[in-house]
Chains A and B, each alone.
Chain A
Amino acid sequence: MTRLYWFARNLPAGILILVTLALPLVVQGGGVPMPEVPKAQRHYSADSECVAPVAEMRKNHMEYILHQRDETMHRGIRTPQFALEECINCHVPENTEVRNQGGKEE
């Protein structure tokens, strides 16, 4: 009971702190810069960027990641289409090689 009372008494102070913390966000207007998506090293094929049509990948991407890794790791199913290599070709940025060869951090 005393704890509840303590909470109620400190509520306005708590709200004040939260508002103060959130102030920079409001002032900036939520202006987070757009992420710079790195270019792919190589696409899956000439007519398809990803290993499956874009709409399908958007919907089932996480599903594929989760299940394909178990299929490959535990059951030894290694189909070329959903191989990790194809993920890496597209999703690892172009300049990775340069960074590793030069040994410089960007």
Chain B
Amino acid sequence: MSEKQDNQLSRREFLSGSTVAAGLAVAPGVFLTLTAQAKPADQAVSSDNRWGMLIDSNKCANGCTSCVSACEQENGWGSANPTENKSSPEQKAQWIRKVTLRDKETGHVQSLPLMCQHCEHPPCVDVCPTGASFKRADGIVLVDKHICIGCRYCMMACPYKARSFIHEDLQDQLPHAPRGKGTVESCTLCVHRVDRDSDKAVPACAEACNSEGHKAMVFGDLKDPDSEISRELKNYGGEQIRADLGLNTGIRYRGI
């Protein structure tokens, strides 16, 4: 069994590796001009981009939850939607959460925001029986609530506990973030902002972190070598949480 899985993974890696090689060999210059332009509203997203985020946990302040509250306000969940009032705290929506880590030996405490990691090989997509959990061409992992049947397999499959289920009837949802009882939801990387203005768009969490002055979250295109996130990753590196799973997450961390 394990041998079979190994074979599959290596084939996948081989295929993705060969496409990257072909892309580079054909025209590296074309890539640059494509990613430098904002996507017109009537054009589909493409795999020329891959959206990601770099989170520096050394810059992330203990006790600061401005990214979480910004996400709540932007997408209408948690404190921003008081109609979700019957669920227990464990059941309630949590698109992004602050996690505090404490090193037992040194006592060093650090905190970081944790949300959907927008994997290249998302386990939530693998297990979804209806195709509701999917990855867009530009790497953003989403739930299509029209197709979701609320089975919650994806919640069990996700190693990051990034998804939540809506247990009750809601009101006052926002037009760009429709939420409904019986479906699973998670961080969308503020896809409505990204689609509106792919050039300068920043998710609400990163925007809030910047305006707080922490500047712990850098959002950008991982496939554009000139983007801030690519340069930061190239120069100083970044880690994936549970890199051993081989999911190639779009959210990278530093200082963990």
Interface residues of chain A, those whose CB is within 8 Å of chain B, are 69, 71, 73-80, 83-85, 88, 96, 100
User: Which A residues lie within 8 Å of B146 (CB)?
Assistant: 69, 73
B171 contacts A77, C-beta separation under 8 Å: no
Cα(A83)–Cα(B175), bound, Å: 9
Nearest Cβ distance between residue B140 and chain A, in whole angstroms? Answer: 8
Q: Is the interface of A mostly helix, strand, loop or mixed?
A: helix
Cα(A73)–Cα(B183), bound, Å: 15
Chain B's closest residue to A97 (CB) is B172
Q: A71-B44, A76-B138, A80-B41 are in contact. List 19 more A-B contacts (CB 8 A).
A: A69-B146, A74-B136, A74-B144, A75-B44, A75-B136, A76-B39, A76-B45, A77-B41, A77-B42, A77-B43, A77-B44, A77-B195, A78-B41, A84-B176, A88-B175, A96-B171, A100-B83, A100-B171, A100-B172
Nearest Cβ distance between residue B208 and chain A, in whole angstroms? Answer: 23
Q: Is the interface of B mostly helix, strand, loop or mixed?
A: loop
A73 contacts B142, C-beta separation under 8 Å: yes
Q: Counting CB contacts under 8 A, is B129 at the interface?
A: no
Among B137, B138, B144, B194, which residue has its beta carbon within 8 angstroms of that of A73? B144
Q: List 28 A-B contacts (CB under 8 A).
A: A69-B146, A73-B144, A73-B146, A74-B136, A75-B45, A75-B136, A75-B137, A76-B44, A76-B45, A76-B136, A76-B191, A76-B195, A77-B41, A77-B43, A77-B195, A78-B41, A78-B192, A78-B195, A78-B196, A79-B41, A79-B42, A80-B41, A84-B175, A84-B176, A84-B178, A85-B175, A85-B176, A100-B83
Cα(A88)–Cα(B177), bound, Å: 13
Q: Counting CB contacts under 8 A, is B31 at the interface?
A: no
Cα(A73)–Cα(B146), bound, Å: 10
B134 contacts A74, C-beta separation under 8 Å: yes
Q: Fill in one digit per residue for B137-173: 1 if any A CB lies within 8 Å of its CB, else 0.
A: 1100010101000000000000000000000000110
User: Which A residues lie within 8 Å of B45 (CB)?
Assistant: 75-76
Nearest Cβ distance between residue B50 and chain A, in whole angstroms? Answer: 13
